[in-house]
Amino acid sequence: MPTRYIDKYDFTGRIAVITGGGRGIGLACAEALAQMGARIVILERDEAIGADGVAKLAAQGAKAEWRLVDVTDEAAVAAAAAAIERDVGPVDTLICCAGIAISGVPAEDATPEQWRKVLDINLNGVFWACQAFGRFMLQRQRGSIVNIGSMSGIIVNKPQEQASYNASKAAVHHLTKSLAAEWATRGVRVNAVAPTYIDTPLTRFGMEDDALRTTWIEMTPMARVGQPDEIASVVLFLASEAASLLTGSIVVADAGYTSW
């Protein structure tokens, strides 16, 4: 029997949790996984965003729900993981997408609050989710985690200053590799995607600024930004059985940005 490649993308009967899945890249990931048959649980800290994301998914025929969780609250993340395992079922797919950026702040002017906020959400939040859901996955020896890093974890963006964001994403990449190495023989794969600029609310400040947008595009070999579905396609691959040999990989989806 030849390998049936299409079956590797079948998520029927599987449960996928997506932090920050109510909009932007996270919502696109939810749509991609739902189209392949997964049942979706979104974690959001904002009620309107969570409800809106689930309404959009339901309108597409997806099985989706959301829970109010701030990923910086490790106890809330652990409680959500336990509740979802109990009420919904075994989670074998986790996408850590919740993140923020504080841009245009020179390092010498950054306040302790700004620095801590970005690291707390972008790095600590990813760790709490990986740990909470990873513990259940390790018990079953089955799971795939995809963290959303950034090309900002590889290069320094120009011209907007955002040291906290860049450092947080470099840390997400190395956290991904660290977890991947620890869990590699125990059935849990951990990978990350490093996107270029993607057209979402997070980058609106730049998309609406002619000078900033022009610089971004001029520095990108493909001369364009990306769309959320172009990142969701990579996340879907990494989450799926098609990526069974990948763990600890940081897949750069950057329209060529880091090539120059």
Residues involved in catalysis: 165
Cβ atoms of 176 and 248 within 8 Å: the answer is yes
Of 171, 186, 188, 168, residue with least CA distance to 247: 188
Query: Distance between CA atoms of 17 and 40, rounded to whole angstroms?
Result: 6
Site string for ligand NDP, 71-110 (x = CB under 6 A): xx------------------------xxxx----------
Strand 188-195's sheet: what is its strand order? Answer: 64-68, 39-44, 15-19, 91-96, 143-148, 188-195, 250-253
Q: How far is the CB of 129 from ligand NDP (least distance, A)?
A: 9
Bridge partner list, 193: 148, 251
Nearer to ligand NDP, 70 or 161 (CB): 70
Q: How far is the CB of 27 from ligand NDP (least distance, A)?
A: 8
Nearer to ligand NDP, 136 or 165 (CB): 165
DSSP H helical segments within the chain, as ranges? 24-35, 47-59, 74-87, 112-119, 125-140, 163-183, 204-207, 210-218, 228-239
Site string for ligand NDP, 38-77 (x = CB under 6 A): -----xxxx--x--------------------xxx-----
- Per the structure block, which two tokens stand in for 156? 């320094």
Which residues, 224 to 253, sit near ligand NDP by CB under 6 A? none
The reply to whether 153 sits near ligand NDP by the rule CB under 6 A is no
Instruction: List contacts with ligand NDP (CB under 6 A).
Output: 19-20, 22-26, 43-46, 49, 70-72, 97-100, 121, 125, 148, 150, 195, 197-198, 200-203
